[in-house]
Amino acid sequence: MTARYEQSAAYYERAVARIVGGVNSPARSFKSVGGGPPVFMHRGQGPYLYDVDGNRYIDYIGAFGAGMFGHGHPEIVAAIARAAEGGTIYGTPNPWEVELAERIHRALPSMERVRFVTTGTEAVMSAVRVARAFTGRPKIVKMEGCYHGHSDFALIAAGSGPSQLGTPDSAGVTEGVARDVITVPYNDLDSLGEALDIWGPQVAAVLLEPIVGNFGVAQPRPGYLEGVRDLAHRHGALLIFDEIITGFRVAYGGAQTLLGVEPDLTTLGKIIGGGLPLAAYGGRAEIMDWVAPLGPAYQAGTLAGNPLSMQVALAALEILSRPGVYERLDADAAYLADRLVQSARRHGLAVQLGRAGSMFTLFFCDEPVVDYRTAQRSDPERFAAMFRGLLDRGVALAPSRFEAWMLSVQHTRADLEETLQIAGEVFAQM
């Protein structure tokens, strides 16, 4: 049955008058899937979302990765209630931030010192600042197409080659900022080596997602991460892993624990908050000790380490630490993703799969996706047709061909089977 969206349309009409573009993040806009009003959700329960018109959706948006626990998880709800009774913010140290820092260190030994912040953008921005302070160098190397938040340095498009500095990718970002950012393709050690041969003495850090989640899911080639680490260190630069998406998603700890490559600095976010705003950055003690109040690299936050987020985060990591959680998530994601690919191909659609643990992307193209340039070959019209067809039949995806399907601990095999049945109907009409 096709969903109806009259109330969503009415809310959108009101929203555009007072909220920029009618949304509080451009990732929620339907611009890239044909435009029109986005769906306004009213309630979540388990693996489902319910909109203001009463339509139910199996949720694979997963709050862009943060929704690892589904909606209304009883242990998360209980943790919120307990914590809120004791007050939501103190502006002082609290015992739960100590416990959470210790727990994160046990999961990611590379994070010897941790600082909590509120958003992934803050975490990456702060990690870069610390890297610059520690090395005394200004430039950052990042990977083409990888999103690291909306701070100025992160919104730089690639130059024409490794020898060329980037250019601003957003209005309001200055050419001066762009001069400190070099962008190279993911999975390309030769380009990284060339860039470091040219700019190495000025490079503070190489920043990347160890497993990419921001132009769709793409895995590193064998030996790539080891090669990045070796090249960075050979040139006196630090290695920063942005694990905002992969941290506690692809494994307990994240990509670095799964793949066995430790960075100098790591950023975390999304999942660690259990659904509340929380992020963190951390790394080797000698580097992190440059952060105020110990060192001269200043960073602060009114909401940082607040007792509500800390206690909910502890509950979240307790859930994920239990035996079998990741094994089941991985098996369910593999089951769903592989059968979606088979179904699409049976209906004559060219599709490639990128998957890591419980997140995956269907790329509508003929060749495997290994970097941003191959990801861009995914057909936007095919994706939009799939997105709309699934949405109208009760399956919700993020409205971008570059986002991943996200499973939660509350999805069941019945939900996956329903999704496969609906997807088969959609693919048949594409």
Is residue 185 domain-shared with residue 302, that is, in the same domain? yes
Q: For 242-299, how does the pLDDT look when each residue is reduced to its tens digit (9 = 90+)?
A: 999 999 999 999 999 999 999 999 999 999 999 999 999 999 999 999 999 999 999 9
Residue 276 lies in a domain: yes
Percent with pLDDT over 90 in the chain:
92
Beta bridge partners of 362: 353
If asked whether residues 66 and 214 sit together in one domain, one would say no
Q: Which residues are tagged catalytic?
A: 147, 242, 270
Q: Greater confidence, 178 or 16? A: 16
Inter-residue contact 190 to 162 (CB < 8 Å): no
| Position 1 in a domain | no
The predicted model scores a pTM of: 0.96
pLDDT confidence bin for 160, thresholds 50/70/90: very low
* Same structural domain, 345 and 231: no
**With 90 as the cut, is the pLDDT of residue 3 above it?**
no
Higher model confidence: residue 364 or residue 147? 364
Residues 239 and 109 in one domain: yes
Q: How many domains does the chain have?
A: 2
In a shared domain, residues 362 and 227 = no
Q: Quick check: 349 pLDDT over 90?
A: yes
Boundary (domain end) residue, out of 271, 298, 320:
320
Which burial class, exposed, middle or buried, applies to 93 when counting CB atoms under 10 A from its CB (0-12, 13-18, 19+)? exposed
Which residues span the domain enclosing 238? 75-320
User: Is pLDDT above 90 for 158?
Assistant: no
Please tell me the predicted confidence (pLDDT) of residue 1. Answer: 53
CA-based nearest residue to 199, from 153, 240, 141, 255: 141
Domain boundary among 269, 293, 320: 320
pLDDT at 161 over 50: yes
| 83 and 16 housed in the same domain | no
Q: Mean pLDDT across the chain, nearest whole number?
A: 95
Using alpha carbons only, give the angle 176, 244, 206 rounded to the nearest 5 degrees: 45
Q: Based on the domain organization, do 223 and 89 belong to the same domain?
A: yes
